[in-house]
Amino acid sequence: MNHDDFTSQAAADFLDRFGRAADGVWSAPGRVNLIGEHTDYNEGFVLPFAIDRRTWAAVGLRDDNTARVTSTFSEDEVEVELAQVSPEILDGWSAYPLGIAWALGENGIDLAGQAGFDVHISSDVPVGAGLSSSAAIECAVAIALDERWQLELDRPTLARVGQLAENKAVGAPTGIMDQSASLLGRRDSAVFLDCRSLRSEIVDLGFQAAGLEIVIIDTKVSHAHATGGYAARRASCEAGAAALGVESLRDVGVADLDRAREVMDDETFRRVRHIVTENARVLATVRALRESGPLAIGEILDASHVSMRDDFEISVPELDLAVVAARAAGAIGARMTGGGFGGAAIALTPSHLVAEVTSQVAAAFAEAGYRAPEIFTVTPSDGAKREL
């Protein structure tokens, strides 16, 4: 289905489920992070872009204070009173859309005084691939409620609302990157975000003009950010910052690494070194894109992967193989993307070699006895918007 069909289908499904027409349909994209991994919650730099895979939210306000959500992911209809919505009563997929209503309440919106709403959600962002299908739901609902409730919140504020929903209603201790990419993305461009000030700049990617494509290799290895490794990495970063007497690792530069090595254990030091060098790599990537174009960023992507594999230790054998096989088949740079422990790798690939990369990566997975990966290309696209 093309995206216009998704929009009309969302409106038709809303009518079908709720027996009346929606007020409108809003959509928000998933994202790929080009570079800057685990730097967001360290108040550092990230460079993600919105992709051409989106989530649609058909929304209609109600006369009472009830919120009802339905989706194409499940038969369930979940219903709550807005005045009563809280993280404690939310679970499953409906925690994403309803968590947004709760998080708006935490931002000073009087939920008891707002009109309730019905929302129907559909998506073509693959779930569990590390492409932020969750942020896409949050951001589609956030812009819809912002418009229908006439809140006029700016997009960095809506990103914070999405992050709060994710952290408290869903329970994943993630940073601000995914929601920012989904809300601020621009066609053919990346969002260069300073996660301390939340100031952002749009950076031209120029992939098409350079004859390049981004190939996604979804390893199908599942990752769950609510538990385990992600939170442990976050704790290591906080311990490293505390050992250095700084508020966050944003305040540590490459020149401070010698001192860092002396005041913490080796594992914490390697976690810190990843963040510090990754921030430098984001800045180097932005500079290279501006001065020379995307053909100049391959080696930086490779270095980022090595740092995540060896220092931050968030890669898995399937992601490492995806990167090595894609490079061997002609990609000019490759790295895992997203939180890690599974999910997807990206390979910046000359257009004429996309088929070669696809078949060689698939062959390498088969030979290693790994589950077949899903391999496809994505295009840097516009952020969240009203569709209908």
Active site residues: 178
Among 338, 342, 380, 383, binds ligand GLA (CB under 6 A): 338
Whose Cβ is closer to ligand GLA: residue 229's or residue 350's?
229
Could you say whether residue 40 binds ligand GLA (CB under 6 A)? yes
Could you say whether residue 174 binds ligand GLA (CB under 6 A)? yes
The site string for ligand GLA over 84-113 (x = CB under 6 A, - otherwise) reads ------------------------------
Alpha carbon distance 181, 47 (integer Å): 9
Whose Cβ is closer to ligand GLA: residue 42's or residue 268's?
42
Strands 45-46 and 66-71: unpaired
Of 92-100, 109-117, 171-179, 358-366, which part binds ligand GLA (CB under 6 A)?
171-179
Query: Would you say 336 and 345 are in contact if contact means Cβ atoms under 8 Å apart?
Result: yes
Could you say whether residue 177 binds ligand GLA (CB under 6 A)? yes
Whose Cβ is closer to ligand GLA: residue 94's or residue 279's?
279
Among 6, 26, 41, 56, binds ligand GLA (CB under 6 A): 41
Whose Cβ is closer to ligand GLA: residue 125's or residue 364's?
125
Cβ neighbours of residue 16 closer than 8 Å, sequence gap 6 or more: none
297 closest CA partner among 353, 348, 350 = 348
Smallest distance, ligand GLA to C-beta of residue 104, A: 20
Quickly count: other Cβ atoms within 10 Å of residue 370's Cβ: 16
Cβ neighbours of residue 62 closer than 8 Å, sequence gap 6 or more: 115, 116, 117, 118
Could you say whether residue 387 binds ligand GLA (CB under 6 A)? no
Residues that bind ligand GLA (CB under 6 A): 33, 37-38, 40-41, 174-175, 177-178, 338-339
